[in-house]
Chain A
Amino acid sequence: MSTTEEPRHRAAQEATEPAGPESGAESGARKRRPRRSFLPYGMILPAAALELLIHIVPMILGIYIAFTSLTQLTIRNWTSAPFVGLENFVQGLDPGGALGSDLFQSLFRTTVYTALVVGLSWALGMAAAVSLNTRFRGRGVLRTLFLVPYALPVYVAAIIWAFMFNQRDGMINRLLVQDLGLVDDRPFWLIGENAFWVLVIVSVWRLWPFAFLMLLAALQSIPEDMYEAAAIDGASTWKRFTRITLPMVRSANAVVLLVMGLWTFNEFNIPFLLFGDTSPDSARLISPFIYEHSFVNWNFGLGAAMSVLLLIALIIASAVYVRLVLPKGRGND
């Protein structure tokens, strides 16, 4: 997406550079033609340059690498890594192959994970925002407390949770087995099937405050009198929520869900910090999966091919989402 737009972007910039008092014949079609000046370009220049350097160019290079055989044999002279066409894609993405089937499984698992984490985070965030958007004692304290998981560095969060989920001595099993007696045998959390749920819990713990913060902000911009009018009409709390609150925060919702979805789908830190270089099968998300194949095994061409697939999946998902959900015309008329 960006790759095709970038040349256009640059062309647009160049086209305006020699612009002086005259010029602008080609855009005569527009009614209110923007006044030509360097100002906007000068102002976006630092951002554009950095985006180009840190995001766009490496991305293009990454896509190029996907077509080469970049391994420990060639890494030293990576510019001369042999071009192998679609080989990496065939090898890595063939759903019939061992690697491809793992990749697609991981992609599916990541989708489920993202849906769960974003859904739960949103629900908790919304519930908290609605609750804290009312007046009662202790509101300020709770509001601050709820933001702590978001303020806490992610590695600290992952470290504590891993410590808590330790099978033999961890706090969770102490609580479940010794203190509450809910289960007899101490369950394993960090290996086997449960690892997936641990991942979900930790991710939600980390993410829901963000949803809460954004949604609380959105709720506060809803004029109070709308609720009052509804209350006079005798609308129930639930009705007020569905008829006023939800529609009013619709655009905030759309964006919060999109951003959280993208972050969660690309999540690397939490599984990496919880499980190390290789996650248990049940919890292998796409980013750590690709990391394992490119960095642990030094097969960067293959890793890049897999990430290109991930990128394409994200682009399609976002495009569909933007079409369907995102309100039109914001900030980019």
Chain B
Amino acid sequence: MVVKIPAKAVVSASTALGLVAALTACGSGEESGDQTLTYWASNQGASVEEDKKVLKPTLDRFTEETGIEVELEVIPWSELYNRILTAVSSGDGPDVLNIGNTWAASLQETGAFVPYEGADLEAVGGEGRFVETSFATGGVEGEPPTSVPLYGLSYALFYNPTMFEEAGIEEPPSTWEEFIDTAEKLTKDTDGDGQPDQYGVALEAGSERQNSHFAHILAQQYGGKLWSDGPNFASPEVVDAVKLRLDMMAEHGVVDPSNAEFSDGTQSIADFVDGKAAMMMMQGSARTTLASRDFDNYEIAQVPMLDPLPGKPIQSHAAGINISVFNDTDNKEGALQLVEHLTSPEEQVYLSQEFQTLPVAVDAYDNEELQGEQMQTFRTILTEHASPMPLIPEEGQMETVLGESIAGLFADAATGSEVTKADIRKALKEAETQMDAAN
């Protein structure tokens, strides 16, 4: 008996484990042939499925030209960063991938991406192909970039011309003073219940990313910056920058306090569409959302600036998506070819129209399809009034810490507390200490 039993026990045990092993066979993940590249694309359009449809023709053209098949995976933003992490730490990743351009410096440090220099840079079209401000986002200054731009984006001021007309406003505001003035005129109680139900402007006030972006943009206008050898959040310029945007809600009441809860990047667009707000400052990709809501009653203008302007004429960070080649690729040549293909002027024209982004290849702007007034406004902002977010490995963390601290100030303002300049400085100082402590 003593002999017989363990045998059985072992059998059942190994059956159990064997089952697991057997299931492996059903799992995916076998190496594909040499001539296939895997490509991780970020989700740009209305859905992952939609993006696949958009990308398929351009990838088919690539296969036609080069004979290289591309296996496409569109990864939603909520997952992309973690997926890159797993790819980097396991060495088991795609050949080519998209990254948010503000991650460029951080991911550069991992050493997981091929640096674009020398022949490799030429292979993707050379530096001269790209819009300068976008190209600058590719990595830390002074080192060969490990990413090149793929989709360019910039902020702009969106406004509702009908509402402007109703309020007797003829021109979109070009200074912040005018902006507040305009916004005040546009904030009204239309149904007479004593509460405004149309506001001058909608803000994504709970969004860490947008909070950080505008701290960066406005701080530049004030002549400061977020980062100089370390976090610089509590400097007078950054405090002023945060205050300017915060006061739209806290002091001028031209932003619905509900906006303090907006964090996914679409809710302020919804307010704009629903006529609850007359203006918003969003990146060009917001047009995808506007289109999906069948809304075209909007005009686009440049982001206002300070007058007089103590700092630089910056209206946006050089936003967008970059593209990198993974170091562990078996087919670097093919991977670079794919990058070349996707950033070529012809494909850029196609992609920018599909995804409502801006071409990153200079020559693409010559295309007659892209001569519209909106495109020109965006182009001016991106090429002349944009500066990259700080090109530092801590950028991601900075956006989280700083953006969250600003979101907290908006939350205070929305829940009725008074937020003074001293409060802002205190909160930003705390964010600064937090950044320091974690590095």
Contact = CB atoms under 8 A, between A and B. Distances in A.
Direct contact between the two chains A and B in their complex (CB within 8 A): yes
A39 B16 contact: no
Interface residues of B, number: 45
A97 B263 CA distance: 29
A98 B6 contact: no
Interface string B194-215: 0000000000001010000000
Interface in A138-184: 166-168
A85 interface: no
B85 to A, nearest CB: 7
A99 B106 contact: no
A53 B407 CA distance: 41
B153 interface: no
Contacts of A299: 438
A150 to B, nearest CB: 26
Given A73-B110, A276-B263, A297-B438, A281 B89 contact: no
A191 B436 contact: no
Contacts of B208: 277-278
Contacts of A187: 415
Interface of B is mostly: helix
Contacts of B110: 72-73, 75-76
B396 interface: yes
B2 interface: yes
A46 B17 contact: yes
A191 B411 contact: yes
B397 A37 contact: no
B327 to A, nearest CB: 8
Contact of B91 (A76, A192, A302): A76
B17 A166 contact: no
Contacts of A99: 434, 437-438
A72 B256 CA distance: 40
Nearest to B398: A297
A45 interface: yes
Interface string A300-314: 001000000000000
B397 A46 contact: no
B157 interface: no
Nearest to B207: A276
B73 interface: no
B258 interface: yes
Interface stretch (A4-12, A219-227, A253-261, A288-296): A288-296
A138 B123 CA distance: 74
Interface in B377-432: 393-394, 396-397, 400, 404, 407-408, 411-412, 414-416, 430
Contacts of B171: none
Interface string A92-119: 0000011110100000000000000000
Given A72-B109, A188-B261, A297-B396, 11 more contacts: A37-B6, A42-B9, A45-B10, A75-B110, A76-B110, A91-B438, A98-B430, A193-B415, A277-B400, A295-B82, A297-B397
Q: Which 8 A-B pairs have the closest CB atoms?
A: A42-B9, A38-B6, A98-B433, A99-B437, A98-B437, A168-B258, A191-B411, A297-B397
